[in-house]
Structure 1
Amino acid sequence: MLKVTEKYERAFESYLRDDHNFFLDLTAGDGVPTFDDWDIVRRVIKVLEPFYHLTLKVSGSLHVTSHSLFEVLTDVHCLFYGWQDCGDLEIISMTSKMREKYNKYWGEGNKINMLVYLAVIFDPRCKMSFLDFGVNLLFPNVANDIMRMIDKELHCLLNEYSSNAGRIQLFEGRSSSLTNLYSSMEIDQSEMKTGLAKQKYLKKKKQIGLESKFELDRYLGEDEEVNNSSSFDLLLWWKMNSLRFLILAQMA
């Protein structure tokens, strides 16, 4: 609204010069806009405009936004630091009040919803490296603790999805497993103590667990995507790479 209004500064001046009623109407309120008022408008626009664009970034309804929230938090943090040293006392005062409200919701890194962090990892342009950078930027004193907490939660989530995938694969492969089981004439007697079916179940479960861990290491070990255009489709990327990362794609 302020940006649109600024374009009509001369129109306000013309009304003030040519229309006495305009002057009387505004004088009854807060008065006629002065040169200082327009100067303040231009300065405030520089502060509010970045917030407008950041708000659009995380409030979309036709594209994925969960991975953008952490980046927006880091951007706001950087904006605050820039304004603190701008030399404009009014902007510095405004920034102080804004930071106070920001810290109320986002000031404690260990209390932020864990999905805010995990969503960054599943953005192939960011992964763990940008997350680590951002956490150290926002919470330098407790960054290591937060990263350990994130790593723990990531692997817990991985184990949960691996278990689900394991149950599905075990169920789907029951016929072939039973065929192989009954066709084998040589049975290890030590396996009989645990149970043949259970032995095969545990072996399959262990194999799936190792595959999922290797899948995560492989994903994090690959270079980040360099496509930072606004047209990048995160869900499409995971769809195209779902055969390479079966479990991670489900998690994403």
Structure 2
Amino acid sequence: MVSEALKYKDVLLWFGNSISMDVPSLEEWKEAEEMMNFLKVFLNVTKTFSTVRRPSSHSYMKEVYSIRSTLLEDDMSFNKTLQILFFDMKIRFANYWESPNLILTLACVFDPRRKLLFVDFCFQDAYGEKTDKYYERMRVVQSSLTIFYDEYERMTYNTERVTSSGSPEVERGTLEKMKFEMRFSQFQFQNRHLRPNKSELDNYLEEPLVVSDEENFDILQWWKRNSDLYPTLAKMARDFLAVSISTIASESAFIVAGRLTNKLRNSMNAETIEALVCSKDWFGSIDSSFN
């Protein structure tokens, strides 16, 4: 609303003066414009976090750090209108920054355009290079990433083992061959820390960053194309990128379901309601892709 009013500032000033109406002064218009520019960053972050049509968890670190950069700008503290709001937000954000969400921080690593390098850059820029705080933050992120990777690798191995041993109709020769391959896979898994070969995670992190613009990059398609190259990491990416930053998506689902079931339509079973909600969402996705 403020942005639209600013477009017609001169007209509104002229009209107000022509009918002797009290109108905002030029100084007040300037303060309104500064307020709008300050809050625009938060508006863009809110839009990113509130999206329901594509993953947003990998954008967590970038968007949160953009807020931090805005709040650290010195010139904001000299604006009298913004002073109270600015310092209150700065204190609240400082408390939040001290305990960031670890899962969402790890989700940033699965963006091939940034990987762990971006997390390193943010912490280094925030705490300074070679400081205890920087090393502690990076240690937590790196160790957590390794723990998650080892667990997913173990689950992948167990899944393959159950799949190969759960088919009784396989010919005996083929079954023995599969058992032999599984024994080797088990040996390989148990001795993975002794091998000089690099893991999927190491190879992924050492690969050059993907160069792509923000609008046209489809992170899910990238992981789908590279799932053969990084099978374990692709499963991790599927789960981490599915994490929702905002509760808007889930709240929206309840609102839609509430519109479907009312006192006149309350005999539908759960399967019918689920089918209607999903159909509406899918058709909406198709319409937006054509537009």
Q: Same fold (TM over 0.5)?
A: yes
Of the structure 1 ranges 68-77 and 31-40, higher mean CA displacement relative to structure 2 is found in: 31-40
Q: How does 1:161-200 map to 2 (within 5 A)?
A: 161-174=152-165, 178-180=175-177
- Does the 8 Å contact 1:74/1:137 carry over to 2? no
Question: Equivalent residue for 1:227?
Answer: 212
Shift of 1:79: 1.5
Shift of 1:85: 3.6
- Does the 8 Å contact 2:17/2:23 carry over to 1? no
Could you tell me which of 55, 69, 74 is aligned with 2:60? 69
Question: Equivalent residue for 2:36?
Answer: 45
Shift of 1:172: 2.8
- Does the 8 Å contact 1:165/1:247 carry over to 2? yes
Gaps of 5+ in 1: 24-30, 183-195
Could you tell me which of 61, 78, 89 is aligned with 1:88? 78
Question: Equivalent residue for 2:190?
Answer: 206
Structure with bigger gyration radius:
1
Name the CA shift for 1:200/1:177 in 2 (closer, same or farther; >3 Å).
farther
Question: Equivalent residue for 1:188?
Answer: none
Deviations 1:107-133 (A, max 9, x none): 31xx32211211111100111111111
- Does the 8 Å contact 2:61/2:108 carry over to 1? yes
Identity of aligned residues (%): 24
Question: Equivalent residue for 1:10?
Answer: 10
- Does the 8 Å contact 1:162/1:208 carry over to 2? no
Question: Equivalent residue for 2:262?
Answer: none
Shift of 1:200: 6.0
State TM-score, norm by structure 1.
0.77
Deviations 1:147-177 (A, max 9, x none): 1111111111112111111112112333678
Name the CA shift for 1:136/1:177 in 2 (closer, same or farther; >3 Å).
farther
- Does the 8 Å contact 2:113/2:211 carry over to 1? yes
Q: Which structure ranks higher in relative contact order (CA pairs < 8 Å, sequence separation ≥ 6)? A: 2
Name the SS for the 2:63 alignment partner.
helix
Gaps of 5+ in 2: 238-291
Question: Equivalent residue for 1:56?
Answer: 47
- Does the 8 Å contact 2:223/2:234 carry over to 1? yes
Deviations 1:30-79 (A, max 9, x none): x5322221121122222122222222222211111001111111111212
Name the SS for the 2:210 alignment partner.
coil
Name the CA shift for 1:222/1:6 in 2 (closer, same or farther; >3 Å).
same
Name the SS for the 1:142 alignment partner.
helix
Q: Which amino acid aligns with 2:7?
A: K
Shift of 1:11: 3.5
Question: Equivalent residue for 2:102?
Answer: 114
Alignment: residue pair count: 226
Name the CA shift for 1:49/1:153 in 2 (closer, same or farther; >3 Å).
same
Shift of 1:93: 5.0
